[in-house]
Amino acid sequence: MINQEYKDMLGAKSVIRELSEYATARGKEIGYENVFDFSLGNPSVDVPKEFTEEMIRLLQEEDTMTLHGYTPSLGNQKYKEAIAASLNRRFGMNYSAEHIFPTTGAAGAIAHAVRAVTKPGDEMIAFAPFFPEYRPYVGGAGVKLSIVPADTDSFQINFEKFEEMLSGKVSAVLINTPNNPSGVAYSTATLEKLSTILKEKSKEYGHTIFLISDEPYREIVFKGADAPYVSKFYDHTLSCYSFSKSLSLPGERIGYVAVNPACEGSDVIVPMCGQISRGTGHNCPPSIIQQAVAKVCDLTADLSVYETNMNIIYDTLVELGFSVVKPGGTFYIMPKALEDDSIAFCKKARDYDLIFVPTDGFGAPGYFRMAYCIDTDKVVRAMERLKKFVKEVY
Ligand SMILES: Cc1ncc(COP(=O)(O)O)c(C=O)c1O
């Protein structure tokens, strides 16, 4: 029998995908350079040349069995060692290779982390605004996801609501910093407070509440932002990382789970992930990509354009009277729409070939997301169009 649950999901088409398809179709009509498409979080900067050079070297010099053979189920040892050393050097941690599990991007990392520290029927908490894919990532593990409403002043954490919702049924809490869609990074003060609450509640309920930290934007942090390494604050942290954004490699599907060495079960979580892969079929990233990234994991693409674009957009939004929190990183910004119904606002913007995403699906109605991973000259032209739109419509 056809699985009705997945069949029903076909009806709920992603708003972001729909908007992006609209932008592509419109681009065919009027030229893509005239469509100001802020819908998709697809990196716009080149992969570092060192990655390309390493891929070429591997293809030319390594034997094909090593390059294209199965990796061990817990991943390529050199990749795991390189990641552990990089995190230790940069964040003062003490990971060893045994704490690193290679995954297919952050999506694969979260799929494994959730299954490692929950069982079907458990509850998890995430915070608005949140990445909508968390629903299938968590729901697919049979776990109920509750969303803490946003702290709309700062897009840090609404601790009052969080404490009300953090019951004894919650096995894990999922955070994302710097955040998609707000662009905000959780501050030292936020992470300290989060850690204190998790410690107190774990003690009160008699079980560890794990922290799953989704960090694909960790390397895209702007000047002056307070964006510390999450796992420093709370031992029971599983950090989920991806090279999709930092190295501009989303199509290669490469990331990892890093288990804090002081986390409960840190000696078994990575081997357990190997077992989880057997059930999800979502196992190790390609061997050659693990080998290439092992060599360049300390590098990033030239990410500076994102900060340039953010400043141009932020200044224009402020000038036009939008209410907006300045992003500390990522390539997203999330202003309040100029009317209560942000879907209506985005539809009106579309008439000006401005493609924005309403954030209702991110758990924060009334706002819209702009993904500014596009060329700066297009951002500049888009700001002129935005001024015209606001002047004529509002
Ligand atoms: C917040 C967040 N988490 C996870 C992911 C998934 O990342 P990946 O494509 O590396 O699996 C994304 C992708 O855009 C994201 O924005």
Can you give the CATH number for the domain in which 55 is found?
A: 3.40.640.10
User: CATH code at 344?
Assistant: 3.90.1150.10
Cis bond before residue 216 (omega within 30° of 0): no
Nearest to 251 by CA among 213, 289, 195: 289
CA of 70 to the centre of ligand 1 (A): 25
DSSP state of 48: P
CA of 248 to the centre of ligand 1 (A): 12
Give residue ranges with CB within 6 A of ligand 1. Answer: 41, 105-107, 131, 176, 180, 214, 216, 242, 244, 250, 255
Residue of 127, 135, 220, 242 to mutate, ligand 1, most atoms within 8 A of C-beta: 242
CA distance 337 to 318: 13
Q: Whose CA is nearest to atom 16 of ligand 1?
A: 180
**CA-243 nearest atom, ligand 1:** 10
Are β-strands 237-242 and 255-259 bridged in parallel, bridged antiparallel, or unpaired? antiparallel
Is residue 280 located within the same domain as residue 320? no
Is residue 54 located within the same domain as residue 32? no
Is residue 327 located within the same domain as residue 383? yes
Is residue 139 located within the same domain as residue 275? yes
- Write down which residue in 248, 266, 296 finishes a domain: 296
- Write down which residue in 262, 296, 330 finishes a domain: 296
Q: Is the dihedral of CA 188, 117, 362, 200 positive or negative?
A: negative
Is residue 255 located within the same domain as residue 334? no
DSSP 189-229: HHHHHHHHHHHHHHHHHTSPPEEEEE-TTTT-B-TT-----
Residue of 244, 289, 357 to mutate, ligand 1, most atoms within 8 A of C-beta: 244
Is residue 318 located within the same domain as residue 378? yes
CA of 3 to the centre of ligand 1 (A): 26
Q: Whose CA is nearest to atom 10 of ligand 1?
A: 105
Cβ 298 vs Cβ 86: under 8 Å = yes
Strands of the sheet with 332-333, listed across from one edge: 332-333, 368-371, 357-358
pLDDT in tens, 32-84: 999 999 999 999 999 999 999 999 999 999 999 989 999 999 999 999 999 99
**CA-250 nearest atom, ligand 1:** 9
Domain, as residue range, for 143: 49-296
DSSP state of 18: H
Q: Whose CA is nearest to atom 4 of ligand 1?
A: 106
pLDDT values of the chain reduced to their tens digit, one per residue, 394 residues = 989 988 888 877 777 778 888 888 999 999 999 999 999 999 999 999 999 999 999 999 999 998 999 999 999 999 999 999 999 999 999 999 999 999 999 999 999 999 999 999 999 999 999 999 999 999 999 999 999 999 999 999 999 999 999 999 999 999 999 999 999 999 999 999 999 999 999 999 999 999 999 999 999 999 999 999 999 999 999 999 999 999 999 999 999 999 999 999 999 999 999 999 998 887 789 999 999 999 999 999 999 999 999 999 999 999 999 999 999 999 999 999 999 999 999 999 999 999 999 999 999 999 999 999 999 999 999 999 999 999 999 9
Q: Can you give the pLDDT at residue 115? A: 98
Q: Is the pTM of this model over 0.75?
A: yes
CA of 109 to the centre of ligand 1 (A): 10
In the structure encoding, which two tokens stand for residue 41, read together? 């979080």
Largest CA distance in the chain: 64
Is residue 334 located within the same domain as residue 282? no
Q: Which residue has the tokens 């360049």?
A: 296
The total of other beta-carbon atoms located within 10 Å of residue 73's CB is 14
CA distance 177 to 325: 15
CA of 318 to the centre of ligand 1 (A): 28
In the structure encoding, which two tokens stand for residue 82, read together? 């390189």
CA distance 71 to 74: 8
CA distance 47 to 194: 35
Chain CA centroid to CA 136, Å? 14
Is residue 103 located within the same domain as residue 172? yes
CA of 106 to the centre of ligand 1 (A): 5
CA distance 328 to 190: 14
Q: Can you give the pLDDT at residue 16? A: 78
The total of other beta-carbon atoms located within 10 Å of residue 119's CB is 10
Q: Can you give the pLDDT at residue 134? A: 97
CA of 394 to the centre of ligand 1 (A): 34
CA of 105 to the centre of ligand 1 (A): 7
Half-sphere exposure of 206 (CA within 13 A, CB side): 0
DSSP state of 244: T
In the structure encoding, which two tokens stand for residue 315, read together? 């200044």
In the structure encoding, which two tokens stand for residue 351, read together? 């008439």
* 85 contact partners, CB below 8 Å, separation of at least 6: none
**CA-176 nearest atom, ligand 1:** 1
Nearest to 335 by CA among 353, 315, 350: 315
- Write down which residue in 296, 316, 345 finishes a domain: 296
Question: Which 3 state secondary structure label does DSSP give 279?
Answer: helix
DSSP H helices, the chain, are 4-11, 15-30, 49-61, 64-68, 77-91, 105-117, 134-139, 159-165, 188-205, 269-280, 287-296, 304-319, 342-350, 376-393
Residue of 44, 114, 184, 214 to mutate, ligand 1, most atoms within 8 A of C-beta: 214
CA of 214 to the centre of ligand 1 (A): 8
Is residue 92 located within the same domain as residue 31? no
